[in-house]
Structure 1
Amino acid sequence: MSESVTFLRAMLRKGSSVLGASPADEAPNPDSVPDWRYREDSADSMLMRAIRYSALGPIFYRVAAFPKVYIGFAVSNGSAGIVPVLGTTIFAVLLNVFAVWWVVRGRGIRAKTSGRLMYVDLAVGVVLTTLVAVAAPTEVQPYAVDVAWTWIVGTVALWTMSFGLPAALVLLIAAFPFRAFLTWIGGLPLDHPLAVSRSVGCMVALVVAIVTTAGILILLGVGTRFALGIGMRRGQRAERLRTQRVLHDSVLQTLEAMGLEAPDDESATAQRLAEMRATARAQAVELRRELAGPDAPSARGLAADLAEVATEMARDGLRTQLVAAETEEDYRLSHARRTAIRDAVREALRNTVKHAGTKQVVLRVEESDGGIAVIARDQGTGFSMLDRPPGFGISQSIMARLAEVGGRGTIDSHPGRGTRVTLWVPH
């Protein structure tokens, strides 16, 4: 049997609590999850919220169904029994509106307490229907019970969602003698045609609630597994690309510099060695920052970041003329976009150092097309894009990095006419 079928069977057997044990890095093991008693500190917080929100369906059903059923009762029976039925409807709607607010805005509760609330919900439904069955006039009692029975339908749906099909089927079986008890305390014979027809209708409503909620459970389980699978694949790909970029933009650059042919002049060799040591120290700092995690957001603007990059490139002998003015829009760039364009500029300038055959570049920052553009222009040897297809540095360290934050990059170069690199990100 496939893993997906096993997971769905576990969802139907144990309810949405199976999702709470879905780890972030592998498929969940549904058979290891006891009903609503998993360790909350080991469950993913987003999955925990999904479990809590799954209760909204039955609660919203009550909020909408109670007024609808009451209107049908009032139209058919006039003022007979209106006091207990109207009171029950108002109480049920208000209580379920509060439940919606609590589920959406609340901080959540422990799993054991959630299970207890399911029993409290069942008790409220039993009390409401019993009070209506006793208080309603005998001639309209089956119709009055239909209104209060709306709560029981929601309860069965909640139990299906929370505990699974077995628990819901237990409630369905118990509902038969309970519905007969309501008929009896209302003063009607159990074989009264009206009582029988309304009782059958109540049982059918419970079956529909169980089948519908089971379908929702299946959709919830399938959707969650697809979302987890897509998220894990995209996360793994993003982490792999990030590692490749770190290695390409730091370690590989240093190794390539070390592999360059040493000059014949002894003083030039000493200068090259000093430059390599400085580069290695800078790369060590950058690697340490990457290992420590993402940069903390700062209040400084993009121009300050680019000035820092220009200082780094000066160690490699590249003189950068930065033409930029801090603007209000510059500070509105998100941290992710500012970091992406900063690192893309760094890679573009490294390409200038390695391939352009010049030690000068002009770096200009300007507003363009509702975003910020950084243009790097050199008067180096240039190259033909047809003869030199984009390597990892252009395709991933520049283009892909910008695309991830909604930006783009273009390169315009011709042999003997220099290179122009335009990097853009939206505000």
Structure 2
Amino acid sequence: MGLEVALWRAVAFYRVASLLYAAALIAMNFDGYAHPLGGWAVLAVMALWTLYATFAFSDPRRRGRPLLVADLAVASGCVLATAWVESAANIAAGRPTLPVAWVAAAVLSWAVEGGGKRAGVAASLVIGVANVLVHVIAGMPGSVGSRTFNGIVLLFLAGLVVGHVVKLAMDAEARLARAVELEAATRERERLARRIHDSVLQVLAMVRRRGAEMGGEAAELARLAGEQEAALRSLIGAGPPAAPRRAGGPADEVDLRTLLDRHGSPSVTVSTPATPVPLAEPAAREVEAAVAAALDNVHRHCPRGTRAWVLLEDDGDGRITVSVRDDGPGMPRDRLAEAAADGRLGVAQSIRGRVRDLGGTVTVDSAPGRGTEIEMTVPLTGGHR
């Protein structure tokens, strides 16, 4: 049974218990009413609404604003009916309203479903105004005494405290569900890692060793197997995705380090800060894609054995910088412009375009004989965030 179900069962129990208390008071006091039959009529309305509300609030599909407004309207109407049923003398003497504590159920419903303490306080104020109007309608506005005032204060505190506690409980349940989900994901990752280690990784390691011993074309196969082995070990060794930092925000934030670490291999060294580098998930995916495009250029256009380095920096100034550097042959400074003019837009679209859409900048530093460095700077508040 979830927390929400338990809360609504508690509200339903309170409705029934407070209805029985109100029925007992009406039975004891009906001889002194100005309209005794009116007291029984109000009790009948309360009983019917208790049955309907208990049924309606048990279904999450019906717990909308219309039902909450109707609940508050019925409670207020029963309070106002006191001005017609009770005698003016009893109202002036401070006798409680006909529904007494039964009306607090509407306040509790607003506190549970309506959004926390603000909704609970608003509902209590409506009931409080109805209590004061009873004296005004009876023609005795000056008879509002300490009993009426104390009842209003208790309703206000109930809406405030219950709403606040419910909000804390719901947040705690959401965090617990997230923790259980992460634990399950971690266990599944560990299970898969064990199975992969016992099969795929061992095969890749054997291919890498045997290929290196055989040489020739097998050496190239060994190199590829080694890269895939390293990438796979990095993937299964990474933890679960970073949890969102702002629940309900425009986008979840993930640790950019986790995404970039997956590109590490024997020929690619990835260096990241020791602390998390949170970035909105859509922006983080675009940065990773730009890095992947830069590394793909190294593999396609540089000689075999070319090494690459990926460096992630977060200086705490609202920007992150990712640089991809290689020790390849480099290229002339006008090479990219010529490629763009010829319609080859790999760097222009895969790297510059992605970073530009995020509000960042790209700098390419290269010359024949000294490799290439691509530096991407992205604001933490730009682009998709």
TM-score, length-normalised on structure 2?
0.44
